Structure 1
Amino acid sequence: MLCGIDEAGRGPLAGPLVVAGVVLKKEIVGLNDSKVLSEKKREKLFEEIIKESKYHIIFTNAKTIDEKGLSFCLKSSIMEIMENLKNDCNTFLMDGNTTFGIVDLACKIKADATVPQVSAASILAKVSRDRYMLNISKDFPNYDFHKHKGYGTKVHVEAIKQFGRSSEHRYTFRLKALGEENTGTQKGLF
């Protein structure tokens, strides 16, 4: 059995990194990379995946990303998934081009579009993260998280200029638009 692993939230300026692992118990029609599916289709597939799989989802908050670094957070999330799902599968496949040095982890570029288990993980991660950002939007009305989900849109950058960063923002992600210098942790994004 194969466990597919994918993440959502590697690049946003705010919100968590979400990593999901999925072992499908049966075939699910319509799986694909979450980014190419409509929100309605992702939501429908999310419910089906939850019912028809063994899965594990990890959220890492912005503060931990700032303190530990994105690669560390990705690696530790993947290792937690592997530990939690090791009795349900014998192969682990991560979307992308790196295994983060993890033994027994394979990687494949565009696996989220070509391997059903990774597509399912992509959907679980994206929907979980989007729901989180929608939920916190009411607590941070100045930022409109419900509209851009924490990504670096022009509107979001303008809100940061006006109100500064919130507790949901990643402080190590430097913004050229704010005149911030790159610290080497994250390249200037805008």
Structure 2
Amino acid sequence: MPDFRREQQHGGRVAGVDEVGRGPLAGPVVAAAVVFAAGVPDDLASLIDDSKKLKPAVREAIAARLPDVPGVEIGLGAASVGEVDRLNIHHAAHLAMQRAVARLPAMPDHVLVDGNKLPSFGCSAEALVGGDGLSLSIAAASIVAKVVRDRIMARLDVRWPDYGWDGNAGYGTQAHRRALVQVGVTPHHRKTFGTVRRQLELAGAAGQ
């Protein structure tokens, strides 16, 4: 389980940052930054974990509670499908992280990022491989980012129901790939991703 030791070692306002949505075929990359300026209540700390390990209802409950915790600051950022295609997914994810930190009430003293590479934040920062399983701030950020992105994809699913985005969040499930073949590519698909790119090429060849 993640803990708060790294935040306490650095002191000051330490932001945990994580992003969600590197792998999907559709939808934006969403990042969150979370600061526990007054520490983490014990009962909340016992619930927070890497978002991938938590059931959706638990993620929703934690995300709903976080804004009411004294001293908590939350920043959200995203990179659009167009930015993913233009910049590549790696740089788009870093852009989303930078935007999340920039939307905190003030620049943190230090940033902890899940992963092995760091974007520039304008303050000291470090990358932690598996950080969402080590740092409560990063884990909280992973939960917020996951909840927000899932909601975005569920809203897009209302207009584009063939792809199952309310259930697969844009990932390349068998049903999603089948819909790409049968229905085609939407404006929300990442056109530089191999599966989508190949479908566009096939559609273009068929239209010639």
Select 2:114's aligned residue among 67, 83, 95: 95
**Partners of 1:154 and 1:7 in 2: CA distance:** 24
Partner of 1:157: 177
Structure 2 unmatched runs, 5+: 1-12, 202-208
Report the counterpart of residue 17 of structure 2 in structure 1: 5
Tell whether 2:87 aligns with 1:75: no
- Matches of residues 175-190 of structure 1 in structure 2 within 5 Å? 175=195, 178=198
- 8 Å CA contact 2:78, 2:99 repeated in 1: no
TM-score (norm 2): 0.79
Distance in 2 separating the partners of 1:17 and 1:35: 16
Shift of 1:77: 2.5
Letter in 2 for 1:149: A
Give the CA RMSD over aligned residues.
2.2
Q: C-alpha offsets along residues 123-155 of structure 1, whole Å, 9 cap, x if unaligned?
A: 000000001111111100111111211001111
Cα deviations by residue, 1:90-111 (Å, 9 ceiling, x for unpaired) = 1101001111466622100111
Check conservation: 1:161, 1:178, Cα contact below 8 A: no
The counterpart of 1:49, out of the listed 59, 62, 66, is: 66
Question: Is contact 2:78–2:95 with CA below 8 Å preserved after alignment?
Answer: no
Give % identity. 30
Q: How many residues align?
A: 181
Aligned partner of 2:135 in structure 1 is 115
Residue type of the alignment partner of 1:112 = D
* 1:176 Cα deviation from its structure 2 partner: 8.9
Structure 1 position 16 matched with structure 2 position 33: no
Shift of 1:67: 1.6
Off by >4 Å, runs of 4+ in structure 1: 176-181
Q: Write the letter of the residue equivalent to 1:8.
A: V
Correspondence for 1:134 among 133, 154, 167: 154
Q: Which runs of 5+ in 1 are unaligned?
A: 182-190
Change (3 A) 1:91 1:177: closer
Larger helix share, 1 or 2: 2
